[in-house]
């Protein structure tokens, strides 16, 4: 083998080695880019997880407040029911004791009072306004004839 052949083999070997190093460098750069992207996605996921956890904590706190408010409303409702029951019991007791009150309670309501308690099924503000305009409302004092 001549020196020229050896030199050409050496150059070819160096070229192959340089090409292999260049390919590995490209692969390493691509791997680093993917790793950087994965780290970025991981950081974004962590940030989203923290936001979701904070939102869940806020919702849990609001739910606790709502439950406390509902319990308070139930307690108030129970007190009101008990008060109503006590009043009804008191009224029934008074009716049994007082003959004038018993006579008064047994009379039918006057027409004016009965009309106040009569209402059609109203669905919405417009229907309520129409019902009010047809219900024979009183006129203002300045609109009455004779003044």
pLDDT tens-digit series, residues 24-37: 999 999 999 999 99
Residue 5 in tokens:
């052949």
Domain definitions of the chain by residue range: 3-76
What pLDDT sits at residue 32? 94
Sign of CA dihedral 116, 121, 124, 128: negative
pLDDT tens per residue across all 147 residues of the chain: 688 888 888 899 999 999 999 999 999 999 999 999 999 999 999 999 999 999 999 999 999 999 999 999 999 999 999 999 999 999 888 877 888 777 888 888 888 887 777 777 778 888 888 877 776 656 666 655 554
DSSP state of 139: P
The structure's pTM equals 0.42
3-class DSSP state of 134? helix
Sign of CA dihedral 122, 127, 132, 135: negative
- Which residue do the tokens 């308690």 mark? 117
What pLDDT sits at residue 147? 47
> What is the DSSP code string of 24-82?
HHHHHHHHHHHHHHHHHHHHHHHHHHHHHHHHHHHHHHHHHHHHHHHHHHHHHHHHHHH
């Amino acid at each position: 083998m001549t020196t020229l052949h050896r030199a050409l083999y050496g150059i070819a070997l160096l070229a192959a080695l340089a090409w292999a190093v260049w390919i590995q460098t490209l692969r390493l750069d691509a791997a680093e880019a993917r790793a950087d992207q994965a780290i970025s996605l991981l950081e974004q996921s962590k940030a989203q997880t923290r936001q979701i956890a904070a939102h869940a904590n806020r919702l849990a706190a609001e739910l606790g407040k709502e439950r406390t408010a509902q319990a308070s409303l139930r307690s108030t409702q129970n007190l009101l029911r008990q008060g109503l029951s006590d009043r009804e019991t008191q009224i029934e007791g008074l009716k049994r004791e007082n003959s004038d009150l018993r006579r008064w309670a047994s009379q039918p309501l006057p027409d004016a009072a009965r009309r106040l308690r009569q209402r059609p099924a109203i669905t919405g503000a417009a229907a309520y306004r129409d019902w009010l305009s047809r219900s024979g409302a009183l006129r203002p004092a300045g609109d009455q004839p004779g003044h």
